[in-house]
Structure 1
Amino acid sequence: MTTAHPYTRYVALGDSLTEGVGDPDLSGGCRGWADRLAEILAEEQPAFTYANLAVRGKTAAQIKTEQLGPALALQPDLVTVMAGMNDLIRSSFDAASVIADIEEMFVRLTASGARVATVTFPDLGKVSPLARRVLPRIRDLNARLLAAAERHDVAVLDVFLHPVTTDPRLWSDDRLHASPLGHARIAAGMAHTLGLAGHHDWTEPLPLLTPIPALRAIVADVRWAGAFLGPWLWRRLRGRSSGDGRTAKRPEPESVTRWQTS
């Protein structure tokens, strides 16, 4: 049988988005866009296996230190690298340092013979007003990421270009992680980026939303700050991370079974 792609072993590196936070599975864990992408890839490749080394809360430096070596040891022919979000929102953010860590991952993974793909960052200010101040950082980091990817022939899913990626329905209640629909769109976008047929519509806009009255929007922002922003700030003040004590959910390559629902 002729397959639509050559990949037999996919390994995902990253933080909470790649781990799948915001997209719960039936066991109480996380599914996420990387799992969904693996399901798509497995449809065309009977021998396909997949590992996910991502852990929530990790910075680019931590992903490089903790996940790169294990990923190389698994000898994948496809790797996705999503890193930098947890750096962007820190006061100590240094774009040059973040890109240096990401580029080192690009260098070592491509040198191993793997096809490598990555993702840019969306305009978070359109998802949460409190994130508007980081837009200059996002633009800068995206420009550096695109340049590094070009230097090393890394495929890029450029989500910043597409308005649908800031539709609130693609984001979970915490406004930091994708919703199940958002994860599905990222998976389709990455499949399209890798050249798989049938996923070109990942950028299609959703039906128009009814405008939210200003007062209701303010109340929603206040509730969000209490439920999500406050706890995040408290962890930061204590030097804690949501990933403390966690390990990769899928450290070894395994075969993939597609879910019955999307």
Structure 2
Amino acid sequence: MAQESRFPRSSALSGEGTIASYAAVGDSFTEGVGDPGPGGVLVGWADRLAVQLADRLPEHDFRYANLAVRGKLLDQIVRDQVPRAKELAPDLVTFVAGGNDILRPGSDPDDVAARFESAVADLTSAVGTVLVATGFDTRDTPVLRRLRGKIATYNAHVRAVADRHGCPVLDLWSLRSVRDRRAWDTDRLHLGPEGHTRVALRAAQVLGLDVPADPEQPWPPLPPRGTLEHRRDDITWARDHLVPWIGRRLRGESSGDHAHAKRPDLLPL
């Protein structure tokens, strides 16, 4: 049975409004890293949201583009993706950016937010609806928990920007179900398939859709694990994921240096 939305209906779906076209803008989160589909092609929450939007319309009437590229900083997204999104002029743009900036040492969330708002103002002048998102609560995430205050500050700015520009907000900080480690990929930096699914369901709720499942549905209980097992997991994660990630930062490299948008045009699903 479809779950009734508990969120205010977005103007994008109010009255006779219909979302017939959608462009996703952002970094690895929106590209779908951590959620491989058939043949290794990335899926992700934005693709999953597009399917829910398409299901409301006759076949082939919905069009979707995903311009997101992993590793990109806010200014790169604004330079490379925002003009394309404006050119496409879809009914809906999801603009999730700034996370990689916030993770960088010495970055100022106030400065990042000011640049974020400039991009939001630019987008809202050219497209139908712009949905923005907060960052996740990293309270239970090793290493990233130290950035929790910085992320919370940026989130407060994102909500204020959304208020000023009339944007619906995908509040990932309040999505408790993705605090469970089973929502995340083994790198602990990107969501896994179930995490992406829950984010897509919450995004659909924010837009006023009735969804097929509750994104906050409880996870099955986990078997007890000893301290030694946790430490082994942390050591493996640090060796396989954290150290290479730090190395790329020190070398000034990005995982998206040679990557391209997977759906640069508005096309039927």
For this structure pair, what is the TM-score category when the shorter chain's length is used for normalisation?
over 0.9
**For 1:177 and 1:146, how far apart are their aligned partners in 2?**
22
Of all paired residues, the percent bearing the same amino acid is 44
More displaced 10-residue stretch of structure 1: 101-110 or 61-70: 101-110
Structure 1 stretches of at least 4 aligned residues deviating more than 3 Å after TM superposition: none
- Aligned residue for 2:79? 65
* CA offset digits 1:154-175 (Å, max 9, x no partner): 1011121232121111100000
In structure 2, what is the Cα distance between the partners aligned to 1:202 and 1:5? 25
CA distance in 2 between partners of 1:106 and 1:191 (Å): 20
Equivalent in the alignment of 1:116: 130
Cα distance change on mapping 1:177 and 1:135 into 2, 3 Å: same
2:91 aligned with 1:77: yes
What TM-score do you get using the length of structure 1 for normalisation? 0.93
Structure 2 residue aligned with 1:259: none
Farther-moved stretch of structure 1 (209-218 vs 6-15): 209-218
Q: Conserved in 1, the CA contact under 8 Å of 2:86 and 2:127?
A: no
Give the whole-Å Cα distance in 1 for the aligned partners of 2:180 and 2:16.
31
Matched residue SS, 1:198: coil
Q: How far apart, in 2, do the equivalents of 1:205 and 1:153 lie?
A: 32
Corresponding position of 1:231: 244
Matched, 1:194 2:211: no
Look up the SS of the partner of 2:143 in the other structure.
helix
Partner SS state of residue 173, structure 2: helix
Contact 1:16 1:55 in 2 (8 A): yes
Change (3 A) 1:253 1:204: same
Structure 2 residue aligned with 1:242 = 255
SS at match of 2:235: helix
Q: Distance in 1 between matches of 2:220 and 2:52?
A: 25
Asked if the contact 1:192–1:200 (Cα under 8 Å) also holds between the matched residues in 2, the reply is no
- Give yes or no for the alignment of 1:156 onto 2:156: no
Partner of 1:260: none
Match of 1:99 in 2: 113
Counterpart-to-counterpart distance in 2, 1:125 and 1:94 = 20
Structure 2's unaligned 5+ residue stretches are: 1-14
Q: State the one-letter code of the partner of 2:36.
A: P
Report Cα offsets for 1:94-146 as digits up to 9, x if no partner: 112211222122112211241111211112231x2211110110110111111
Q: Which residue of 2 aligns with 1:209?
A: 222
- Cα gap change, 1:59/1:199 in structure 2, threshold over 3 Å: closer, same or farther? farther
SS at match of 1:40: helix
Structure 1 residues 179-213: Cα deviation after superposition (integer angstroms, max 9, x where no partner): 00000001100000000013572122212222321
- Note the C-alpha offset of 1:6: 0.3
Q: Of residues 22, 37, 40 in structure 1, which corresponds to 2:49?
A: 37
2:191 paired residue among 175, 178, 189? 178
CA distance in 2, matches of 1:41, 1:99: 29
1:87 aligns with 2:87: no
Structure 1: gaps of 5 or more residues: 257-262
Whole-Å Cα distance in 2 between the matches of residues 11 and 113 of structure 1? 10
Give the aligned partner of residue 154 of structure 2.
Answer: 141
Q: Distance in 2 between matches of 1:61 and 1:97?
A: 12
> Separation in 2 of the partners of 1:16 and 1:106?
19
The residue identity in structure 1 corresponding to 2:268 is S
Q: Could you tell me how far 1:92 is from its partner in structure 2?
A: 2.8
